[in-house]
Amino acid sequence: MNDHASSTHANPGGNGKHRGPADVPCFDPTAYGMGPDDFVTDMTENAAITHHAMELGGQALAYTATAGHLVTVDPSSSQPNAKIFYVAFTKDGASAQERPVTFFYNGGPGSSSVFVLLGSFAPKRIKTSMPGFTPPAPYTLEDNPDSLLDRSDLVFVNPVGTGYSAAIAPHHNRDFWGVDQDADSLKQFVKRYLTANDRWNSPKFLYGESYGTARSCVLAYHLHEDGVDLNGITLQSSILDYTQSGNPVGALPTAAADAWYHDRLGVSPKPEDLQAFVAQVAQFARTDYRAALAKFPDPKNAAIAATLKTLSQYTGIDTQTLSSWNLDVAAYDSRGNSLFLTTLLKDKGVALGSYDGRVTAIDTGIAGKVDPNAGGNDPTMTAVTGVYTAMWNSYLNEQLKFRSNSSFTDLNDQAFQNWNFSHIDPTGAQKGVDAQGNVILYTAGDLAAVMALNPDLRVLSANGFYDFVTPFYQTVIDLQKMPLADQKVRNNLSARFYPSGHMVYLDNASRTALTADLAKLYQSAVADRPAVARIRALQRMRAMSTMQH
């Protein structure tokens, strides 16, 4: 189905009466199983097509929404192997040659794209009470003044085992649940979308969140190897080196930001500028704190005592407690509870959210004994899960006019539990698991490789200050250590930080600021005509090389 061929000249007044083609609803009777051994036999590329209008940046914008499936194929046999569910928003009347197209996905692994779709840059967004708890229904879905639709067409992709995406027999869902398998699957989806919608020559962008950032690094390299070169990548809330997960040096500035927000610092007066403060803490983290961690415990070491005092001031945790943690602010107890997040406001009976430290939830009685790693029990997820689930089903069924008997899978724990973290990097090295089966996934090397091979590729790294899951300073460390020596190419990488959490866009001011930074990314990538021409030439050369082999 060609999205642009379906476009219409909608009434810019947005009163629901549109000239041109009528909406095309879709009912999909296929049963989508999300288990590891599930599959479907139906190979229909179905879609609901609806026409809309909104005002964006003071201008009337008419657009077409397409919600449905594209069928991907096994590249060696060209036989269908998966039905991938997606939602695309395309600006009506735009030239496909000049119009960027951006592919969005969340992470997990095992997450659908519903979170980034309804929270970030689509034409509609949910209204939440972040960082407070969003009360039960009725909820509000509103036009999104921070939508990127004026900059790019937007395609939200649900990997196999999420949403309504499933393997096609004789394949099974588990066949796609792995680092390289997942990247190859999404590569096939991108190629299918470009073909189905005549978008091969459009500027192309990726936007991944959380595990989606690791996915983007691998996917970008796989796309390049298959003749598809990108203009830009956004890495939001990165995890590029799993060996550094839980690194206290990378986590300390986030702990300090949380203490700053909740007025628990031992620093007086309280610093006014959060960004300047966390930069100061980062300097301490990579010097005195790193040294003290290596030498602790050493009761005769005066430097450790001085460091412990400063650490207490920065985190709001007393020195005795920090000593019992061996100075490790990223430590967890045996049940998977973060010691810092459950201790900072323990006197108030609440714990901080790991995804957004501004968010708190009751941590006494039975609430304090619920597994924090089960479902949406983290305070941040608890604050928004209800509104996401309700509004997504309402939006998909009533406004996008796609209906199904199957349950839409927002988060699939089975995918995560069965995920194969094995990964062969561009050098042929194993960067996924060690000999004992421990996850050692490292994908910053894939990003470095594709940036070196495509020196016009722009990359934006975006992080929230209050994110304890993928701490912003750990992202800085990972990118600094990335094996990319050419300074000119490194200049294509920019990093931005926001007073928000893991889902940066849930904070209104942060989403607006991120939108402005993304506008700069698109402008620099697309307005640089020689760079666009070089990317297209590189794509043609790679495609020809692939065909010859």
Asked if residue 386 has pLDDT above 90, the reply is no
Asked if residue 31 has pLDDT above 50, the reply is yes
pLDDT digits (tens, 9 = 90+) for 237-264: 999 999 999 999 999 999 999 999 999 9
Please name the helix (run of DSSP H) or strand (run of DSSP E) that holds residue 166, with its range, or none: strand 166-167
What was the pLDDT predicted at 22? 93
Residue carrying structure tokens 């602790």: 296
What was the pLDDT predicted at 2? 45
What was the pLDDT predicted at 348? 93
Q: Output the CA–CA distances (angstroms, integers) from residue 377 to 133, 161, 259, 369, 468, in the order listed.
A: 13, 22, 22, 11, 15
Q: What letter would DSSP give residue 277?
A: H
What was the pLDDT predicted at 309? 96
Of 315, 328, 299, 232, nearest in space to 266 by CA: 315
Q: Output the CA–CA distances (angstroms, integers) from residue 482 to 87, 238, 428, 488, in the order listed.
A: 33, 13, 17, 14
Please name the helix (run of DSSP H) or strand (run of DSSP E) that holds residue 213, with its range, or none: helix 211-225
Residue 413: HSE in the Cβ half-sphere, 13 Å Cα cutoff: 4
Query: Global pTM?
Result: 0.91
**What is the number of other CB atoms lying within 10 angstroms of the CB of residue 457?**
24
Q: Position 83: which residue type? A: K
pLDDT digits (tens, 9 = 90+) for 116-171: 999 899 999 987 766 766 666 667 788 999 999 999 999 999 999 999 999 999 99
According to DSSP, the β-strands at 124-126 and 141-143 are antiparallel
**Listed ranges 353-362, 367-376, 459-468; the one with the highest mean pLDDT:** 459-468
CB 525 within 8 A of CB 531: yes
Neighbouring residues of 412: CB distance < 8 A, sequence distance ≥ 6: 34, 108, 110, 111, 112, 161, 162
- Average pLDDT across the chain, whole number: 89
Residue carrying structure tokens 């403060």: 277
Mean pLDDT of the region 56-70: 96
What was the pLDDT predicted at 367? 56
Mean pLDDT of the region 536-543: 71
Of 198, 129, 181, 96, nearest in space to 419 by CA: 181
Rama region for 79: left / alpha / beta (φ>0; ψ in -120 to 50; rest): beta
Asked if residue 60 has pLDDT above 70, the reply is yes
pLDDT digits (tens, 9 = 90+) for 399-426: 999 999 999 988 899 999 999 999 999 9
CA 125, chain centre distance (Å): 16
What was the pLDDT predicted at 387? 75
Residue carrying structure tokens 């866009």: 505
What was the pLDDT predicted at 251? 98
Confidence of residue 373 (pLDDT cuts 50, 70, 90): low
**What is the number of other CB atoms lying within 10 angstroms of the CB of residue 510?**
23
According to DSSP, the β-strands at 458-464 and 232-236 are parallel
Neighbouring residues of 333: CB distance < 8 A, sequence distance ≥ 6: 339, 342
In sequence order, what E strands does 178-300 have?
A: 204-209, 232-236
pLDDT digits (tens, 9 = 90+) for 169-216: 999 999 999 999 999 999 999 999 999 999 999 999 999 999 999 999
Neighbouring residues of 321: CB distance < 8 A, sequence distance ≥ 6: 343
What was the pLDDT predicted at 368? 60
CB 310 within 8 A of CB 284: yes
> Comparing 21 with 46, which gets the higher pLDDT?
46
What was the pLDDT predicted at 383? 61
Lowest pLDDT segment from 198-207, 380-389, 468-477, 524-533: 380-389
Asked if residue 442 has pLDDT above 70, the reply is yes
Asked if residue 236 has pLDDT above 80, the reply is yes
**Percent above pLDDT 70 for the chain:** 88
Confidence of residue 456 (pLDDT cuts 50, 70, 90): very high
Lowest pLDDT segment from 98-107, 267-276, 375-384, 419-428: 375-384
- What is the distance between the alpha carbons of residues 500 and 119, in angstroms, rounded to a whole number? 13
Q: Output the CA–CA distances (angstroms, integers) from residue 466 to 229, 237, 319, 359, 510, in the order listed.
A: 34, 11, 23, 9, 12
According to DSSP, the β-strands at 350-352 and 360-362 are antiparallel
pLDDT digits (tens, 9 = 90+) for 298-339: 777 888 999 999 999 999 999 999 999 999 999 998 888 899
- What is the distance between the alpha carbons of residues 546 and 481, in angstroms, rounded to a whole number? 32
**Domains of the chain, start order:** 4-243+390-548 (3.40.50.1820), 248-381 (no CATH)
